[in-house]
Amino acid sequence: MRRTTVVRTGLSALLLLGTWATAGLVPAAAADSPSSSSAVTSETQVSNGLLAAMQRDLGLTAPQAEARLAAEKTATATQGKARTAAGSSYGGSWFDAKTGRLTVAVTGEERADAVRATGATVRLVTRSARQLDAAKAKIDALSAPSGVAGWHVDPKANGVVVDVVTARKSDSDVQAFLAKARKTGPVTVKETPQAPRTFSAGTVGGDPYYTGNVRCSIGFSVNGGFVTAGHCGQAGAGVSGWDGSAIGSFQGSSFPGNDYAWVSVGNGWWTVPVVLGWGTVPDQLVRGSAEAPIGASICRSGSTSHWHCGNVLGTNETVNYAQGAVTQMTGTSVCAEPGDSGGSFISGDQAQGVTSGGFGNCTSGGQTWHQPINEILNTFGLTLATA
């Protein structure tokens, strides 16, 4: 990269920092991988800008936002220990923003005390996470019509939720799909106003990176390059930056089925462990990739709609795009818009994933899914750049 002046907030800084993305798909199981073992550190510094974004998007006061971040940090650290303590009886976990506690579902009392000893609250359920994941995997094997928006395991309900577009719920192909899905196990049907779409966009001046006439956003820095969304480009495709100069090329890409890719960096460009704050918050350092629990707050950085926050709604979700289904996604209440694809999802200082797609926008609101970072790192054998 030719620029040597001080980094400033803006699209030019995006590639200089090389750390954000707006298309995120990741497996829930990634939290068990070595790559996800990085704990939330005590060095996390909460900026006024981050607190302001949480107040704006989550309706919190500054003290409430600070308290929530502290509670989520504890819950994230507890989650892995509690899952280990639960063993085969583990039925999933989620963060409760009202109580500030992590709840862990278990299928029997024999492991309940061990889970409580980690600091988590226990809820007894009928089915284990393994059983629920197996039921969802059977639905993944089905061919879904466009009226089905996606499906995911809901640990609170101890079942699988299938999301159906309201206007299409009575379609014969949707009803036929639901009939097959119900045969796999405990299925609940919920309505959604729109089907999700990817958030790539046509060429617009001053954006982070381009592949042909497609603009997307950089995700997280890794050894040798950065990660982003798979639907933004195929392996071998060249990538240019905000100034039109060559950055590198897609070294690996997968979409649909998955929605992740990684791009090599060269030609004078470099990457650092930072997510751009767009002036809303200071640029955020990345210190690890510990997976935030369901219910935790999460923020996203993208080249179109910049910085927005929300909550983690679910993990291991399947999203049915027009191009095909994508599995192992994390659902969030964060908004996004075209051009945000590939951008960064981050919770505190922990990388979460790259933006994949969703519905709505950042004026009226919406939902967005991301591919968890640890699956991407493990698939391509990459190492996350951390501060």
Catalytic residue IDs: 231, 259, 341
Q: Which amino acid belongs to residue 312?
A: V
Render 293-336 in DSSP notation, one character per residue. Answer: PBT-EEEEEETTTEEEEEEEEEEEEEEEETTEEEEEEEEES---
Q: Which amino acid belongs to residue 336?
A: A
Give the helix/strand (H/E) hosting 164. Answer: strand 159-165
260 within 8 A of 214, measured Cβ to Cβ: no
The helix/strand/coil state of 261 is strand
Determine whether 277 is exposed, middle or buried from the number of CB atoms within 10 Å of its CB (0-12, 13-18, 19+). buried
281 within 8 A of 307, measured Cβ to Cβ: yes
Alpha-carbon gap, residue 258 to 85, rounded angstroms: 31
Alpha-carbon gap, residue 231 to 19, rounded angstroms: 18
